[in-house]
Structure 1
């Protein structure tokens, strides 16, 4: 069987939505959970468009809320597949908001969602390989690969760490933690 390649452009999605009072939290800003829900939707759309399959969220990398979003602003999310594994894809998402009256835009957050393609039985399913066609796409692919390697390294380190050793307990005591066990 011939290996299938797809361009990053085959995964690009843009979603814009006007922020309503019903989307706000108690401080009058748009609720972070609502923005996360939109991010999950666009990650699903991007990964499904690229793979041609139903996709599920496997993990979400750090989401830092850089700037608050106000009621009445237009929020735009842009997403594309940055990296592919055998059955998974890393979707990069950028969220901006725009004051419709002034035209001023601000970057609100960026994140990376790892999505896994599923077949009709719910099993993980292979995805097309990624064809990179610009230096920007190569940079995003390499950065995603570095994050994946760092995550694996961190997991291996955690597995080796003995939290109950006297050395680990002493380190915690030095961090101003009281231990009573």
Structure 2
């Protein structure tokens, strides 16, 4: 999960700060309460730590599992807002501004992950301090769509739980421009996002049942139904994945057409037809980066925030997209990603990006970023996430056509095409539901 940025005020933390004396008040946060140096001291039993390692272990051992009470919650119960006052807070803007004078998309992704975590903790709260604690993790980012460009005015991030399963929750969020004349008014919607969060019992590690939803009107019933449909869609996509089933007949014809096309071009100068300038081999669109995971980017579970991983992947994808179109690309969406394994502090994270699909008669293209955790001592490499970003170039003429040259690359091409087609449907559905 992502970490709230210093200076951001959410309605959750603000309400808690307003009534610190209340024993029932809870601050829902996805940030560590103590510093990393205190944690190290505690783990090693140092007297400089807030708690000795032995005392901490004894405290954990004394905790006993206590079944949580299920409380019927409404969607409004989990509603949370974050205000980004860029027009007034220049220090905050300094943390978000990019070289072009716009707000960094990657920083917004971090905030979305933080907001989804805070919303989920609010929904799962049963009002009792002695209940078995829960661990909330980001299971997947189902979709992030940027609907329009935006400047550096004040922004509002808001969201709430729209669907619950046994231990899973779908969190719907949006970002809006805040009108300059009305601080509490609603401006244009800039982005919409859906995250799937999962609750686990912090003591047993098992899936924990979350509070059910009370649907109060037709709009909420429609949102809940969309959550069920989204869950069914993800299940179908998983079952029909290229790692489980061969390409469809139509896709096999496409692979053959690609083969016939790339066979005409070769590095051999004796070939009759030279590769056009607007065609790039897929293998030539690769770009990589390696990062060491630092404790400042951890969550309350001492794992690296999913939002931080999204930001790293996006920034690499943006660099790759820029080189591909030789211009500044426009970011459109982040397709569904699943967080397979947590990333520990201190690990090396290898990010490998590649342009895998370009839309015919369009200036949009897909950039895949694969995130692998490297274990230096074991010499192992394990994939933790695969990200799929959609960008657009300045024009159809200026956007090259990517060309696979192997069967493995053709599979990536097919996967990119599938995600682009499905993503377009989801984007149109989001706009329809928002009346855009």
| Structure-2 residue corresponding to 1:15 | 82
Higher alpha-carbon deviation: 91-100 or 133-142: 91-100
Correspondence 1:150 to 2:233: yes
Does structure 2 retain, via aligned residues, the 8 Å contact 1:6–1:128? yes
Correspondence 1:31 to 2:96: no
| Structure-2 residue corresponding to 1:42 | 115
Distance 1:166 1:134, change over 3 A: closer
Does structure 2 retain, via aligned residues, the 8 Å contact 1:173–1:179? no
Correspondence 1:115 to 2:197: yes
Does structure 2 retain, via aligned residues, the 8 Å contact 1:83–1:145? yes
Q: Output one character per residue of 1:132-164: Cα deviation in whole Å (capped at 9) or x when no partner.
A: 11111101000111111111111111154225x
Equivalents in 2 of 1:137, 1:167: separation in Å? 38
Equivalents in 1 of 2:193, 2:228: separation in Å? 15
In structure 1, runs of 5+ residues without a counterpart are none
| Structure-2 residue corresponding to 1:81 | 161
Aligned pairs for 1:92-107 within 5 A: 92-98=172-178, 100=180, 105-107=187-189
Correspondence 1:179 to 2:405: yes
The one of the two structures with greater contact order (alpha-carbon pairs below 8 A, sep at least 6) is: 1
Equivalents in 2 of 1:61, 1:178: separation in Å? 27
Equivalents in 2 of 1:43, 1:75: separation in Å? 17
Corresponding residue pairs, total: 179
Equivalents in 2 of 1:59, 1:33: separation in Å? 17
| Structure-1 residue corresponding to 2:208 | 125
Distance 1:3 1:13, change over 3 A: closer
User: Alignment partner of 2:174: what SS?
Assistant: strand
Equivalents in 2 of 1:55, 1:172: separation in Å? 42
Equivalents in 2 of 1:68, 1:43: separation in Å? 23
Correspondence 1:5 to 2:66: no
Equivalents in 2 of 1:113, 1:178: separation in Å? 32
User: Alignment partner of 1:154: what SS?
Assistant: helix
Correspondence 1:67 to 2:152: no
| Structure-1 residue corresponding to 2:16 | none
Distance 1:166 1:91, change over 3 A: closer
Larger Rg: 2
1:4 deviates by 3.9
Equivalents in 2 of 1:66, 1:166: separation in Å? 34
1:178 deviates by 4.4
Distance 1:22 1:174, change over 3 A: same
1:106 deviates by 2.1
Does structure 1 retain, via aligned residues, the 8 Å contact 2:121–2:136? yes
1:3 deviates by 5.7
Equivalents in 2 of 1:179, 1:110: separation in Å? 36
1:99 deviates by 5.1
